[in-house]
Chains A and B, each alone.
Chain A
Amino acid sequence: KAGVTQTPRYLIKTRGQQVTLSCSPISGHRSVSWYQQTPGQGLQFLFEYFSETQRNKGNFPGRFSGRQFSNSRSEMNVSTLELGDSALYLCASSRGQAGGGYTFGSGTRLTVV
Chain B
Amino acid sequence: EAGVTQFPSHSVIEKGQTVTLRCDPISGHDNLYWYRRVMGKEIKFLLHFVKESKQDESGMPNNRFLAERTGGTYSTLKVQPAELEDSGVYFCASSHATGLRFGSGTRLTVV
Q: Do A and B belong to a common assembly?
A: no
Chain B residues with a Cβ under 8 A of chain A: none
